[in-house]
């Protein structure tokens, strides 16, 4: 019986993950982090995240209402490390009284940790599916900022 409990405990510990792709867990925060081997023309800022055109089945309500995050940039000799923290979603509820007039009620932000962090480990759904989708959304926004900075006049 003790061997069985020990095997179950060890398998649970090995299955727990706190890193997937560009996402890591640090101090109970889910952080997206990537290091580039060149100096990039980008500064720390608040960024707007937008859902990409995914099929209805490929994403959930949290991802569909993703709104923003903080972008932190660190630079040293020919390297740039970009960290995205405080990723949040703001679901909206619409109450339409007629075709012309509607009332919008916004609720408080729901941070990524509330959805995907469980006892300092990433949830299985995040590891298996949602991390890839959120990674694409973040990469898309960073690429947009970088291409805008390159085209300054």
Torsion (CA) 20, 18, 29, 93 in degrees, nearest 10 = 60
Q: What is the pTM of this model?
A: 0.76
Q: Which of 20, 35, 57, 63 is nearest to 142 (CA)?
A: 35
Residue 12 domain-assigned (yes or no): no
How far is residue 63's CA from residue 131's CA, in Å, rounded to a whole number? 10
By residue count, the chain amounts to 153
Do 64 and 28 form a contact (C-beta atoms < 8 A)? no
- Domain assignment present for residue 145? The answer is yes
**What residue numbers bound the domain in which 30 lies?**
17-150
Q: Is 2 left (phi over 0), alpha (psi -120 to 50) or beta?
A: alpha
Domain assignment present for 8:
no
CB 23 within 8 A of CB 30: yes
Q: Is residue 76 part of a domain?
A: yes
Interatomic CA distance for residues 121 and 126, integer angstroms: 10
Q: State residue 147's pLDDT score.
A: 83
User: Is residue 122 classed exposed, middle or buried when 0-12, 13-18 and 19+ CB atoms within 10 A define those classes?
Assistant: buried
Averages of pLDDT over runs of 10 residues in the chain (153 residues) are: 60 63 92 94 91 66 89 94 94 56 66 88 86 93 83 59
What's the domain count of the chain?
Answer: 1
2 found inside a domain: no
Q: What pLDDT was estimated at residue 125?
A: 84
- Domain membership of residue 3 (yes or no) is no
Q: Is residue 27 part of a domain?
A: yes
């Amino acid at each position: 019986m003790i061997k069985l409990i020990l095997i179950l405990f060890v398998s649970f510990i090995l299955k727990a993950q706190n890193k997937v792709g560009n996402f890591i867990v640090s101090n109970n925060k889910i952080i997206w982090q990537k290091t580039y081997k060149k100096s990039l023309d980008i500064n720390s800022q608040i960024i707007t995240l937008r859902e990409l055109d995914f099929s209805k089945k490929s994403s959930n309500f949290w991802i569909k209402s993703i709104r923003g995050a903080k972008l932190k940039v660190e630079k040293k000799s020919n390297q740039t490390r970009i960290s995205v923290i405080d990723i949040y979603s703001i679901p909206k509820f619409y109450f339409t009284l007629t075709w012309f007039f509607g009332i919008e009620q916004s609720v408080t932000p729901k941070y990524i940790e509330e959805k995907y962090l469980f006892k300092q480990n990433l949830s299985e759904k995040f590891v298996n599916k949602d991390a890839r989708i959120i990674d694409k959304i973040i990469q898309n926004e960073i690429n947009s900022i970088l291409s805008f900075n390159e085209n300054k006049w």
